[in-house]
Amino acid sequence: MSFLSGLTNAATVTFTLYFLSHGLNQTQIGTLFGFFMICMAIFNIPTGVIADIFGHKASDAIGLFLQALAFLFFFLYPTYFGFFLAMFTDALGIAFQTGALSSLSYELLRKEGLIKDYQKVVGRIGGYGLIAGMIASPIGSMIYKYHPGIPYFLSFLFFLLAALAIYLIKWEFVKKPLTISRYLDILINGTKLTIKNRVLMAIVVIGIALSVNRLVFNQNIGQPYQLSVGLDVGLIGFVAAAVSGMGAIISINAYKISKKIGTEFTLLLTVVITSFAVIALSFINTLLAIPIILILFMGHGLRDPIFSHISQEEVEPDKRSTMSSAISFLTSIIVGIMLPFWGKGIDLFGLHNGLFFLGMFTFIIGVFGLTVFGLKKAT
């Protein structure tokens, strides 16, 4: 299932170019992805209830089927309204799957008495998706060069097959008596606890800086920028594959890096690399930009493992799920609101100026978050 889902990188590798080719401007693209982020954050609440009532297998299958529909909409209705409909469906599909696959894997392994292999299995699941993405990205960009809509139709088929694969898993589910009100309580309590915890608020602030950096570059700037420096559209997928591979290597070794140089310095390194790499790109108009893009995503590769480790250390065991939900919700909503404004800025000032402003934003907000983090540690 993870491998089939990873193959949909054949379409996402040219998302921005696909939107631009159908008449959208950067403001509209930013609005689409802002809408997507906010929908995904909100939908996580009711879809979590459905998963607990009907089971993680059903939740995964529904989510994958909805994502299949989303990519069919991208293919059949390449208009601004059609893209909104696709983003809505995609966000709902991802929300159905949030935490469901890992929970399903855990339950299946427990049933077979193999729970000790859980971490290994989760790692392999992620690895299969990564390998598929690295294979699909170059192929997708080459197909896009001649038939822009075909990667989206292929992704529809891949998601459909993935949904079928999940549906065919044999698993008996025991219903849990959880309600929407329970999930709302989790979100409200988690938000209150997060706001009171200075370290976790620092993580939210740094997370906003890094999320805006990654999303604006990926969804607005990256693909047209690569064309502007002379890269052929058919080669964009090869860059994406290299970025995925580099990011995976860094992510796998992120905890080892933080153990050697310290958590605070690792956070600083993440902010500095991502902000100054983007600023450097704003001054480059040649293929020299490609290695800088790889360095940019090396910085992003450090983020998730370090954030996860800090959160685990900072939160009491019985509140980890609550706090994790709150951090994700706060970050997604705030970033979602910001994205349309970044799109408007790129429309007004261009790709290179947009890169410079993005790098400065990441550095200023990131350093503010690091200051909050450091002050708490000092006390």
Tokens of 116: 């000790």
Per-position pLDDT tens, the chain of length 379: 678 888 899 999 999 999 999 999 999 999 999 999 999 888 876 655 565 556 667 777 888 999 999 999 999 999 999 999 999 999 988 888 765 555 555 566 566 666 565 545 554 666 677 788 888 999 999 999 999 999 999 999 999 998 888 777 665 545 555 555 666 666 676 667 667 777 778 888 999 999 999 999 999 999 999 999 999 999 999 999 998 888 777 777 776 777 788 878 888 999 999 999 999 999 999 999 999 999 999 888 887 767 766 665 655 555 555 566 677 778 889 999 999 999 999 999 999 999 999 999 999 999 999 998 875 554 4
The 3-state secondary structure of the chain reads CHHHHHCCHHHHCCHHHHHHHCCCCHHHHHHHHHHHHHHHHHHHHHHHHHHHHHCHHHHHHHHHHHHHHHHHHHHHCCCHHHHHHHHHHHHHHHHHHCCHHHHHHHHHHHHCCCHHHHHHHHHHHHHHHHHHHHHHHHHHHHHHHHCCCHHHHHHHHHHHHHHHHHHCCCCCCCCCCCCHHHHHHHHHHHHHHHHHCHHHHHHHHHHHHHHHHHHHHHHHHHHHHHHHCCCCHHHHHHHHHHHHHHHHHHHHHHHHHHHHHCHHHHHHHHHHHHHHHHHHHCCCCCCCHHHHHHHHHHHHHHHHHHHHHHHHHHCCHHHHHHHHHHHHHHHHHHHHHHHHHHHHHHHHHHHHHHHHHHHHHHHHHHHHHHHHHHHHHHC
Nearest to 221, CA basis, from 272, 271, 273, 281: 281
For 54, residues 6+ apart whose C-beta sits below 8 A from its C-beta are 173, 175
What is the reported pTM? 0.85
Burial class of residue 16 (count of CB atoms within 10 Å of its CB; 0-12, 13-18, 19+):
buried
- Domain over 1-178 is classified CATH 3.20.20.70: no
Fold of the 179-379 domain:
Growth Hormone; Chain: A; (1.20.1250)
Alpha-carbon span 309 to 263, nearest angstrom? 9
Domain positions in the chain are 1-178, 179-379
